[in-house]
Amino acid sequence: MREIVVIGGGASGLAVALETKKRGRDVLLIEREEDLGGILNQCIHNGFGLEVFEEEYTGPEYANKYIEEFLKLDIDYHLNTTVLKIEKTNNYFEITMSSKARGIEKIKAKAVVISTGSYERSRGSIIMPGERPYGVITAGSAQRYLNIDGYMVGKRVFILGSGDIGLIMARRMFLEGAKVLGVAEIMPYSNGLTRNIVQCLDDFDIPLYLSHTVTDVKSGESNRLESIVIQKVDENFNPIENTAKVFEVDTLLLSIGLIPDIALLDNLEVVVDSLTKSAKINQAYETSVRGLFICGNSLQVHDLVDNVTLESIRAGKCVSDYLEKKLEKNNESIDIIPGKNVGYVTPQVLDFSWSPKELIISFRGKKKMEKTKIKVFQNNELVFEKFKQFIVPAEMETIKLDYSKLNKFDELGISLEEL
Amino acid sequence: MFDYIVIGAGIVGSTIARELSRYQVKVKVLDKENDVANVQTLANSAIIHSGHNPDPDSLKAKLCVWGNKLYEKMEEELSIPLLKSGAYVVAHNKTEEEKLAELYETAKINKVPEFYYLDSQEAKKQEPNISKNVTKVLSLPTTKVTYPWEVAFACMENAIMNGVSLQKNALVTKIIPNNEYFEIEVNGKQIFKTKNIINAAGVACDDIAGMVEKEVPYKVHGRKGEYFVLDKRVKGFVNHVLYPLPSDKGKGVLITPQFHGNILIGPTSEYVDDKFNVSTSFEGLDYVKTHAKELAENIPFNDIIRSFAGIRSSIESGDFYIEESKEFKGFYHVAGIDSPGLTSAPAIALYLLKEVIKIDKKQKINKDFNPIIRKQREFHSLSKEKQIELLKEDARYGNIICKCEKITEKEVIDAINGELGSDTIKGIKKRIRVGAGLCQGGYCEEKVMRLISREKNISPLDVKYDDKASKLFVGETKVNKL
Ligand SMILES: Cc1cc2nc3c(=O)[nH]c(=O)nc-3n(C[C@H](O)[C@H](O)[C@H](O)COP(=O)(O)OP(=O)(O)OC[C@H]3O[C@@H](n4cnc5c(N)ncnc54)[C@H](O)[C@@H]3O)c2cc1C
């Protein structure tokens, strides 16, 4: 029986494993790829670590800082190993995993941490009309082909969605000699970080078409993409007539969002939040199943890896507390609800059996706002308030509040108000 | 000189090839695509209909009911996937119930082996998500669901085992009838001679016929059908195929549970000008959503993982046209094979050989014919004991390549190197569902690319998605080139 099994060896899983190990816990990390580091390995651009290290690193450099420490601490891990199933019995979890080296095996653990990251939304999850030629691929896949395998997926490229991966790929493909004809975003604002808009599009004169989407995909005689049509959309996202623009491209990269990968939770009775598309958690990153924790991009999609690390360290601390039986016998809990202008919130539950009295709440605004007050209410009473100059949906907000003062009955609501 | 050349390697060409291989004849199958089952057979509802719908006395009625029965035999012989779901045709009011009664009569005349009414209460008990407004249901227990291209693969593989040859990427460009034989020109250069031609070219059957006949007795009016696919995590949302009442637009928008747990919603039915263009549209997919809601409550549209369209090879008569050319003996039309063509395919093959060609009078039986293919099902659907046994034989069963569908390295390698193997991303996906899950290949396509490159000993630059125009990469990066 292991104390903790961490699933996923990306930024989140590494941080959890390090934190729990440092606290003297027994931990095993399982990673399906042949290297630790996760998605950071293919993010060879700069911009990681400003928050944690106050210095800029590339993705692999950032990952390496943690991998080195991980190896130094001699933490147990399996590479090339895919977890197939997690089952829960009364007191422990049973994890089924598969690898070439060891076949299919089962291990038991007292606590499990899901750090499985996210997957990219593909063409199928949005309604994109047209034909289905080759050449419509997710930006992350193209990034992997480019940065890990060393191959270019296209010469003339258009990008749908202004998520950060799309923006980074616009620059990357441009620098590799591709023609990048533009980026279309269905929302009236970009979904990427402002610095990426400037550094990846503006600096290379790549046009950004806000309130536009792809309304046709065409192949010619062959099975390769030949052209796409974009159109402006109205407030209800319906295409507006006579706004069509045609682009002759061989590649359409999709950067239309990430979805937490929680496939492993399918046969556990975990309560899922339709807003985050992941498990609901309490302030200790614990799902509705006792002893099952989740953090990183498999909990909520982050825009900065630094926040993943910080969040996962906190989760690691909570898992350790859980094993040290620091929980109080207390069944009281209240819900935390996204209110006006708030897209989602984590944690969704405040569970009073958990001790540290500090509550860290992450959320995203639903729209771009200026001069905003972040307000937290309980039973119509303002319990927290903070001023924020700008709110953009692309950037996750985090607030800290002391919850020893909260009552244990009424739900907490978070809202954003423009002044 | 060939005895028979079959043009088209869809489900119809494949079942015909297999039936021909029971005789001592030299057979070749030609298809313009880079894989078997790449056109109509790739994009349909996958339903093995009971035969309750076609007009009595039509060829469709006869071959559909017969074909349905033959699928059970194919399941035994060829290990094809077959979900014995049964189907419900639903009525919402008195007028519809009258139409349901007409269907009931049709089913009787067509000799559907089993069918009966259910009241709304019983239907709701069996299918809790069925629409609240349903008043009566016609239950069709012999309706099944298959995995169409796997059926075509199994038939073609079995045909190849028994001596048939298959040529892919072979576009028939010209046919020259001579007195005793035909010459078929492929890709504008290669010539094959054959005594007989079987035209099983699906939506292109009139184009092929036009290469021979002065007057083609039919014209294909492509009829498009658009669909949504829901992820297999919705498995069990419905367990029967749900049909609305048929209209002049065909069988209507259906909800169909698939063999692997996905749910298919569609199709539309719209005549199109370009019978080769399988594009989807906002309007089409909207239509599907709206009409599906008449069949079931709370459809989990959030779990859509894909949309697609297929084109039916419909002709004016509305029936199958399976006849020898009046003028050019030895040229056989297998035309107008739209729905229920998948169901009917094994019966079409038998009908063509026995009743149209009258092959038993002409050809000797191939005594060595072996009808059996034993195909192992997905590794992760096997029993624990079997998995352990296989793992001992080959450790590559331990390496998961597609995590959504749980497909292993060994299975990918078999799909590449098998008798009817494929060296394309799409071909591997069709064979073993790598990339057919939630992430739609985002995670595993690269791994499959590397395995194809390794097994076929080709550069990643030469790995294709499907045909030769769809290479994955256009070049190396600057760093790689150094
Ligand atoms: C939307 C839709 C839903 C359907 N649903 C069902 C259902 O649920 N149940 C059912 O029983 N049936 C259904 N059908 C019907 C069924 O799919 C078809 O009847 C069946 O697949 C036809 O098979 P085929 O072999 O005739 O055609 P295809 O699969 O189209 O095969 C024809 C082949 O001919 C080849 N070809 C064409 N021209 C040339 C050339 N010049 N040279 C070489 N090769 C050539 C093509 O490449 C192709 O591979 C549906 C059809 C559609 C479109």
- Rounded to whole angstroms, how far apart are CA atoms A159 and B231? 26
Reported as a single tens digit per residue, the pLDDT across A226-255 is 999 999 999 999 999 999 999 999 999 999
- Buried b / exposed e across B219-257, counting CB within 10 Å, b at 16+? ebbbbbbbbbbbbbbbeebbbbbbbbbbeeebbbbbbbb
CA distance B456 to chain A (A): 18
- Rounded to whole angstroms, how far apart are CA atoms B471 and B347? 38
State the pLDDT at residue A155: 96
Peptide bond into A347 cis (omega under 30): yes
Whether residue A127 is predicted with pLDDT greater than 90 in this model: the reply is no
Whether residue A407 is predicted with pLDDT greater than 80 in this model: the reply is yes
**Could you give all domains of chain A from N- to C-terminal order, each with its CATH number?**
1-120+257-326 (3.50.50.60), 122-256 (3.50.50.60), 330-419 (2.60.40)
Tokens of A325: 């039986």
Rg for chain B, CA atoms, rounded: 23
Domain ranges of chain B: 87-141+221-314, 380-462
Contact B470 A133 (CB under 8 A): yes
Which residues of chain B have a pLDDT value below 50?
A: none
Evaluate whether the domain defined by B380-462 bears CATH number 3.40.50.
no
- Rounded to whole angstroms, how far apart are CA atoms A122 and A136? 9
Mean pLDDT, rounded, for A340-349: 97
Contact A263 B467 (CB under 8 A): no
State the pLDDT at residue B482: 58
Round the average pLDDT of chain A to a whole number and report it: 94
State the pLDDT at residue A356: 64
Mean pLDDT, rounded, for A208-221: 93
DSSP labels for B84-107? ---EEEEE-SHHHHHHHHHHHHHH
Pocket test for ligand 1, best of B7, B28, B41 (most atoms within 8 A of CB): B41
B227 forms beta bridges with B308
Element of type H or E holding A77 = strand A76-78
Place of tokens 């549970």: B257
- Rounded to whole angstroms, how far apart are CA atoms A95 and A29? 12
State the pLDDT at residue A316: 97
Query: Which ligand 1 atom is nearest residue B173's CA?
Result: 41
> Which residues touch B340 (CB under 8 Å, ≥6 apart)?
B47, B49, B51, B53, B54, B60, B64, B67
Evaluate whether the domain defined by B87-141+221-314 bears CATH number 3.30.9.10.
yes
Cα–Cα distances (Å) from B97 to A390, B241, B252, in that order, read: 61, 18, 16
State the pLDDT at residue B251: 84
Whether residue A125 is predicted with pLDDT greater than 90 in this model: the reply is no
Closest to B257 (Cα-Cα) out of B238, B230, B244, B233:
B238
Whether residue A403 is predicted with pLDDT greater than 90 in this model: the reply is no
Whether residue A357 is predicted with pLDDT greater than 80 in this model: the reply is no
* B contacts of A120 (beta carbons < 8 Å): 439, 442
B318 forms beta bridges with none
Reported as a single tens digit per residue, the pLDDT across A43-101 is 999 889 999 999 999 999 999 999 999 999 999 999 999 999 999 998 899 999 999 99
Tokens of B164: 């048939």
- Greatest distance between any 2 Cα atoms in chain B: 75
State the pLDDT at residue A91: 86
State the pLDDT at residue B469: 86
Characterize the bridge pairing of strands A412-418 and A333-338: parallel
CA distance A321 to chain B (A): 32
- Rounded to whole angstroms, how far apart are CA atoms B195 and B177? 10
- Rounded to whole angstroms, how far apart are CA atoms B41 and B11? 6
Is residue A325 very low, low, confident or very high in pLDDT (cuts 50, 70, 90)?
confident
Minimum CA–CA partner of B394 in chain A = A100
Peptide bond into B340 cis (omega under 30): yes
Return the higher-pLDDT residue of A419 and B228: B228
- Rounded to whole angstroms, how far apart are CA atoms B197 and B194? 7
Q: Tell how far the Cα of B43 is from the centroid of ligand 1, in angstroms.
A: 8
Percent of chain A clearing pLDDT 70 (strictly above): 100
> Which residues touch B411 (CB under 8 Å, ≥6 apart)?
B378, B379, B397, B401, B432
CB A156 within 8 A of CB A178: yes
Q: Tell how far the Cα of A404 is from the centroid of ligand 1, in angstroms.
A: 68
Is B439 near chain A, with CB under 8 Å? yes
Closest to A306 (Cα-Cα) out of A34, A26, A51:
A51
Element of type H or E holding B412 = helix B409-417
Tokens of A365: 């605004």
pTM: 0.94
A397 forms beta bridges with A363
Reported as a single tens digit per residue, the pLDDT across B130-176 is 999 999 999 999 999 999 999 999 999 999 999 999 999 999 999 99
- Rounded to whole angstroms, how far apart are CA atoms B62 and B251? 18
State which amino acid sits at residue A393.
P
CB B89 within 8 A of CB B52: yes
Tokens of A115: 């750090």
Is B278 near chain A, with CB under 8 Å? yes
* A contacts of B285 (beta carbons < 8 Å): 127, 129
- Rounded to whole angstroms, how far apart are CA atoms A167 and A191? 10
Pocket test for ligand 1, best of B174, B342, B426, B466 (most atoms within 8 A of CB): B342
Q: Which of A41, A144, A147, A149 to mutate to test the interface with B (most CBs of B within 10 A)?
A: A149
Contact B409 A100 (CB under 8 A): yes
Whole-complex ipTM: 0.94
Between the two ends of chain A, the Cα-to-Cα distance in Å is 55
Neighbouring C-alpha atoms within 13 Å toward the C-beta of B385: 0
Phi and psi at B150, nearest 5°, equal -65, -30
Q: Kindly list the catalytic residues of B.
A: 49
Q: Tell how far the Cα of A268 is from the centroid of ligand 1, in angstroms.
A: 42
Cα–Cα distances (Å) from B388 to A94, A347, B375, B410, B448, in that order, read: 18, 41, 18, 14, 24
Neighbouring C-alpha atoms within 13 Å toward the C-beta of A306: 16
Contact B278 A101 (CB under 8 A): no
Tokens of A408: 């244990």
- Rounded to whole angstroms, how far apart are CA atoms B476 and A153? 9
Strand ranges inside B357-452, DSSP E: 400-402, 407-408
B380, B460, B470 member nearest A151 (Cβ):
B460
- Rounded to whole angstroms, how far apart are CA atoms B355 and B322? 10
CB A116 within 8 A of CB B439: no
* A contacts of B482 (beta carbons < 8 Å): none
CB A319 within 8 A of CB A25: yes
State the pLDDT at residue B481: 65
Closest to B135 (Cα-Cα) out of B171, B167, B97:
B97
Reported as a single tens digit per residue, the pLDDT across A281-318 is 999 999 999 999 999 999 999 989 999 999 999 999 99
The residue length of chain B stands at 482
Phi and psi at A222, nearest 5°, equal -95, -175
State the pLDDT at residue A191: 82
A176, A216, A263 member nearest B477 (Cβ):
A176
Residue bearing the CA closest to ligand 1, atom 15 = B339
CB B459 within 8 A of CB B450: no
* A contacts of B168 (beta carbons < 8 Å): none
